[in-house]
Amino acid sequence: MSEKPSVLFVCVHNAGRSQMAAAWLSHLAGDRVEVRSAGSAPADSVNPAVVEAMHEVGIDITSQTPKILTVDAVQASDVCITMGCGDVCPVFPGKRYLDWKLEDPAGQGVAAVRPIRDRIKVLIEGLIEGLIAEIAPETSA
């Protein structure tokens, strides 16, 4: 893994879970991690309930748009995380693949999105811990 790890979040529409995960990782890790998100069948726009739920925690994703999943995005990423939606990511040697089982916020209001948002934050915090530990130089006492 490079000094600056890269993570790709994938869900079908790239309008909910993967957008929240990318926003949390960007917010919590800053420029220490390169962040991408994409979908196999991207929606026209990010779910408004997702935008509102993220706004509640001070994260503005109004400028985000769903993007199509490409082989190049997978190749450029150290870690590919699917969001429990059965997406098939191209598989390349040397990549880490994770699947996070998360409820789909599609068609749900902000009250239903909040617990998904909060669960994603916990997963992202654990991901950051692992990524930083992997790239931190070993120190001897």
Which are the catalytic amino acids?
11, 85, 89
Going edge to edge, which strands form the sheet with 96-99? 34-38, 6-10, 79-82, 96-99
User: How many Cα atoms within 13 Å fall on the side-chain side of residue 137?
Assistant: 3
Burial class (CB in 10 A: 0-12, 13-18, 19+), 63: exposed
Element (H, E) at 128: helix 110-135
